[in-house]
Chain A
Amino acid sequence: MAKVKTLADLRKMKDELRSKISLRENSDNPESMVQIKVSMATCGIASGAKEVMNHLINELDIENIPSVVTQTGCMGYCYAEPTIEVIKPGEQPLVFGDVTLKKASEIIEKYIKGGELVDGIIPDSYETIE
């Protein structure tokens, strides 16, 4: 292993290594960042939810957006899988249906980054109890 020769080296190393544990740091206060839940039941997986989840994680990482992407059970919208729920800090959750890889990119680009609504929102007609 190469030696750390200067403080600048150490800082650079830290920035590179940060992504290894950022998942753990982010999960300590998810409220302060974008939270995405990917519906990952049989119906979701069959429609490609796994690929969508990977795509979301990679894209958000490249865009450097602090986020927590988790999987959850069936949300009930089996007709519109893959389904994802996006919670921006301090905002109401939004559920998007039929999320393809392309749609996922669009959601990141337009809704998460730009705050603009995109097609495919499933109006919520339910309440979650904590």
Chain B
Amino acid sequence: MGKYKSHILVCAGTGCRASDCEGIVSNLESALEENNLNEDVQVVRTGCFGFCEKGPVVKMVPDNTFYVEVTPDDAGELVLEHLVKGRKVERLLYIDPDTKERISDSKHMGFYKKQYRIALRNCGFIDPENIDEYIARDGYAAMGKILESMTPEEATAIIKESGLRGRGGGGFPTGLKWEFTRKAQADKKYVVCNADEGDPGAFMDRSILEGDPHSVLEAMAICGFCIGADTGLIYIRAEYPLAINRLKTAINQAREYGLIGKDILGTGFNFDVEIRLGAGAFVCGEETALIHSMEGLRGEPTVKPPFPAEKGYNGKPTNVNNVETFANVPPIILKGSKWFSEIGTEKSKGTKVFALAGKVNNVGLIEVPMGISLREVIFDIGGGIKGGKKFKAVQTGGPSGGCLTEKHLDIPIDYENLLQCGSMMGSGGMIVMDEDDCMVSMAKFYLDFTVEESCGKCAPCRIGNKRLYEMLDKISLGKSTEEDLGMLRNLANVIKDTSLCGLGQTSPNPVLSTMDNFQEEYLAHVVDGKCPAGQCKALMHYIIDSHLCVGCTLCNRVCPVDAISGEKKTPHVIDSSICIKCGACLEKCKFGAISVQ
């Protein structure tokens, strides 16, 4: 068989699968067959390209043409025009929002220009279900290198010197963690991969497992060698079926090749990996809770120390790292700690993957060097705010983080700086908010999440967060006093100080950071009884301007609760005690007589 002359890379991540990338693949394949090209062109399902906003993404190689928002119906045209006639299908190219020009090569897109891909190096490049493609990309070479020529101490030292820190949230130095577990004495040790990605809006771990599962397996084996463990466990939530399937395929392929299992590469090192499914509880992302859940106990955290490095799974020393952290390990071993430590800032080395979501033009997954500014992330890569609205805030670190505002836009992003600004790195979720978002509602949304996810073990988190939520609710209903604001802050601080685990210790962050940054908005709710963003329904009033109303009765007819009354051809009135503020009348009025106050 000859060599393929072209490859068609089709994104087969969860996002693009939902937009029927499977249909695209099968239509492409049949169109290739029709044109006798099936031996010249290979269709490859890859992991996530990151540009989810414009998915499904199809990339043509070798001319690197990047087609966006492709539908299965476009497949025939792509084959006929691009491959048979050699003409680009202009209408499927990405249009630069500033210059309105069509861009065919992804390298010239604002979204990709500032990215630097280490953890995502293979996502959107290789077929995740084919171990050969991973091996062709230097896969398992890092593991081979340390097994053959290094001691566990030397290998751990590389990770330590690289400055890699935990990407799951805390930012604890990875090499140090490995060293602690290595030094612990026991007959059995475990490597655990934390794939319990729970932050709303974060999906980097899922994408890595879907797009490059072998990189995590390889890194776990490397970790096993360093700490002296022969068993790896991946704790993944059952709601990630595609990632689980690809992991299973990867584990089977690696076992078949003997790259995991007994006597790996003839060095006498044994290491095997198993999958453990979680039920999807936020608190199980906390390492002690995660270990309990794997043991079949309730997913509740316990006080540290003892750290898992001393006493973890089944009471044995256990090293827990997050997916993205592991994905960084093989390149560090291959390229050296110096290469890695030259990327990023003084205390935060390397890159970080962020999941951009919310009111930003380019929603998607990006990987950028540490030290990049929020402005570059949101405006250059993210393409600015949707609909030309004004930027208001960005929530980083999920429910444990805080919101950052205009004044933080130029601060270099790293672990320390984000903490100093009252937020945190977290797992890398970034939710962008515009002028129409109410900060009280935002804080309430996250509190609602933590109340739901609190495991209930300690009182401050179980009861305190519920009370916090109720106080926020009261503010959004306009029933609070200024005194309540002081109590709100006080209670938030108490929960922070007295909760047992990271969940409770950080859950008041969204409240505190919005109170700090948007005090006037809280005051507007409490003192003036108004929601400046117009989101808190209870504080809104629909009013009919009697000068503009012609009495057409349209609003009267659409009102679902009969709150509008008035005779034909005379101005109508809204009874605000009945009005449910659904906005139906506002939408229907043809004379602009209805307004919200």
Contacts and interface: CB of A to CB of B under 8 A. Distances in A.
Given A17-B136, A72-B86, A24 B7 contact: yes
A3 B266 CA distance: 10
A87 interface: no
Nearest to A10: B144
Given A4-B258, A4-B259, A7-B144, A30 B87 contact: no
A5 B258 contact: yes
A27 B64 contact: yes
A41 B86 contact: yes
A4 B61 contact: no
Nearest to A56: B5
B133 to A, nearest CB: 6
A18 interface: yes
Contact of A5 (B6, B85, B256, B265): B265
A91 to B, nearest CB: 19
A19 B61 contact: no
Interface in B88-135: 107, 125-126, 132-133, 135
Nearest to B83: A71
Interface string A6-27: 1101110110011111011011
Nearest to A49: B86
Interface in B43-94: 61-64, 83, 85-87
Contacts of A68: 62-63
B183 interface: no
A21 B141 contact: no
B265 A13 contact: no
In this complex, the member of B107, B147, B266 whose beta carbon has the largest number of chain A beta carbons within 10 angstroms is: B266
Contacts of B148: 7
Given A1-B257, A5-B265, A24-B125, A18 B86 contact: no
Interface residues of A, number: 36
A18 B136 contact: yes
Nearest to A50: B40
Contact of A20 (B107, B132, B258): B132
A116 B148 CA distance: 46
Q: Which residue of A10, A23, A53 has the most chain B CB atoms within 10 A of its CB atom?
A: A10
Contacts of A58: 2-3
A99 interface: no
A40 B85 contact: yes
Given A7-B265, A11-B141, A40-B86, A21 B62 contact: no
A120 interface: no
Contacts of B87: 73
A68 B515 CA distance: 57
A30 B62 CA distance: 9
Contacts of A105: none
A53 B126 CA distance: 25
Describe A's contact surface by its main secondary structure. Answer: helix
B466 to A, nearest CB: 52
A4 B62 contact: no
B62 A23 contact: yes
Contacts of B2: 54, 58
A89 B86 CA distance: 23
Interface in B172-206: none
B271 interface: no
A26 B136 CA distance: 13
Contacts of B136: 14, 17-18, 20-21
A72 B87 CA distance: 7
A130 B512 CA distance: 51
Contacts of B265: 4-7, 9-10
A17 B86 contact: no
A53 B125 contact: no
B3 A19 contact: yes
A86 B128 CA distance: 34
A5 B2 CA distance: 29
Contacts of B64: 27-28, 30
A107 interface: no
Contacts of B135: 10, 13-14, 17
A108 to B, nearest CB: 16
Given A10-B135, A23-B4, A5 B266 contact: yes
B9 interface: yes
Nearest to B139: A14
A30 B63 CA distance: 9
B93 to A, nearest CB: 14
Q: Which of B87, B107, B136, B140: most chain A CB closer than 10 A?
A: B136
A41 B87 CA distance: 9
A23 B85 CA distance: 20
Contacts of B482: none
Interface in B315-365: none
B137 interface: yes
B45 to A, nearest CB: 14
A15 to B, nearest CB: 9
Which of B85, B141, B147 has the largest count of A CB atoms less than 10 A from its CB? B85
Given A4-B259, A40-B86, A10 B266 contact: no
A72 B65 CA distance: 12
A4 B257 contact: yes
A104 interface: no
Interface in B121-175: 125-126, 132-133, 135-141, 144-145, 147-148
A44 B3 CA distance: 22
Given A28-B64, A57-B5, A20 B147 contact: no
Contacts of A23: 4, 6-7, 61-62
Contacts of A72: 86
A41 B85 contact: yes
B5 A69 contact: yes
Given A1-B256, A20-B133, A21-B126, 4 more contacts: A10-B140, A26-B62, A27-B62, A54-B5
13 contacts: A4-B265, A5-B258, A7-B144, A17-B136, A24-B62, A28-B64, A40-B85, A53-B5, A58-B2, A61-B3, A70-B62, A71-B83, A73-B85
Interface of A: 1, 3-7, 9-11, 13-14, 17-21, 23-24, 26-28, 30, 39-41, 53-54, 57-58, 61, 68-73
The 6 closest A-B pairs by CB, nearest first: A3-B258, A27-B62, A17-B136, A7-B144, A71-B86, A70-B63
